[in-house]
Structure 1
Amino acid sequence: MIYSFCGQDLMGECSRRDLPIERLKSVVMWNISTLRPIVFGMSPYNPVLGETHHVSNGHINVLTEQVSHHPPVSALHATHENENIDVTWCQYFTPKFRGAYVDVEVKGRRIMNLLNRKETYEMDQPRLVVRFLPAPGAHWTGKIKIKCPETDLEAELHLISDSLIERFKGNNNRSIKGKISQTSSGDKLYDISGHWDRTVMAKNLKTGEVEVIYNAKESISGLKPPTVKNLKEVMETESAMVWSEVSEKILKKDWEKAREAKKGVEDKQRESLKQREASGESWVPKHFSVVRNGKDWDCKPLQPAVPRAPLVITEAQGDIIN
């Protein structure tokens, strides 16, 4: 999730902090807030080519687009109106089969620009492990690095695997460890520890002071679905529109009808592909420019800022405009 809940503007805090070290800690906090526990099982929704999600939450406007289907590549652009923050995010996957599990490398550039501060924060993403034996499950693991060249500061986070070996070592499920350092000297300034789905703490190595920098319950509890403010402005490619019939049948627990509706969405995509191939037409994303270099992808938004969306989260719920 790119946006915040319960009145906490985690993205805005990244720019509001006065000291560079405090801004980096806020970026770390925001980055951790985007993690969610993985529910293992069959997913009824496979994003289709050109599918979008355009939503606003407070001063944050977010636009995502599925810019490739084979392989699946998603692009995201988010802007904060008040704090002049710009986030771009390109995400794709490289799975490697390891017998009893699949190790998925989550690739792509994630960049936060604090335009008022003239600072850029570059972030990579953790790996996803999908396990089949001895019991099915999925979890995040691996390293996340956050670096800001302008402030000469960086953070390195390690999501500890919840394998049986790690649990035997005393590393509890969804634990996180890391550090904040000065890039040029390598001097470590803070130790980071905790659980990314609960609380994360930072210890100042100079003063010994320990502070809670992230509390999941306070930051992401009370999740609410978006409300349609203007139905006429909702794009046909909006996820809620594409999968509306599937969602309706799932809520009614009519699994057979849900499968039929999903097949209808997929058949429509296949027919569109056949028509493009027959006419020699290439599909082009509407909201992002996409560059592919071998197996690597890069996505850049076509517009400098994301406009207000017809779907909103935190604003007062009013009547739907037809």
Structure 2
Amino acid sequence: AVAFAVLSLFGTRGPEGWGVISGAIAASFVPLRATAILAAAAAGALLALSGAALQRVTANPMAAPEVLGVTGGAALGYAATLFLLPAPSPVALALGSSGGAGATLIILSAYAARSNMAPARLLLAGLAIGAFASALLAAIMASGDPRAWSLLGWLAGSATRVTVAGAVALAAMAVAALGAALLLSRWFDILPLGSGVAQGLGVPLGTVRLTVVLAAGLATGAASVLVGPVSFVGLMAPHIARSLGLLRPAPFLAASWCLGALLMSLAAFGARTASYPYDLPLGLFATLIGTPWLFIALLGRRHA
């Protein structure tokens, strides 16, 4: 991930083809490009870590922020903040996006705990929330309101508009989230064994689940507000880590974190260079890069 970040920092595509930037051009573009790469990598790490944590808590390999409707909740929170406040600040938009993601996870968790919902039904509930969010956002976009253009720009996803302070804050959050997850690795080792085993071993089940759910929602919202709602990174990175044989909690969480950063760095590079001089959505390239890898890995495991 670090090697590719350095390569994409200095590698470029211009009117004359591929090359390496240097001199005065490098002095102008490298700081901007470094900010975008840092923001994309940090967002990918947060989304992947959120997906890995949710998969351990729910004991479901299909759990991920986008599959459980968290990304849709973050989008609704962003839209609500944009339309309800007269002049929302970046902080207000970040809080609205994080609040929407956290609220979605809390609703799902409360419903699952009350009805003893099976993992498959929990995923269906998340998909329903995601479909509802997509329909509502489509209605907003079709309304013709001028604020819908701001929402469209955010939904497209881009790391080029992130400020240095925002990229550094997101990177610090990603590092802190990884450290916290590694400290809780014992709990992540016990939770997939079931509620009875976890309670018998002294794990405060309700507190742990609520903490992980809220943290995953806040991380998803923070990543989404800066680079837009990116799909499949939170699902693909943990699956790729698992396909590499990293099953214990600490290496699984750390590998998911690194793979999420790598996927988003690849996506940022592809979005910047594929249609030069225009940027394309990050989520598109994250899906194009990760989905074939995941598909091949799953086919290989089934064949084995």
**Short-chain TM bin:** under 0.3
TM-score (norm 2): 0.24
Structure whose residues are more often strand by fraction: 1
**Higher RCO (Cα < 8 Å, 6 or more apart):** 2
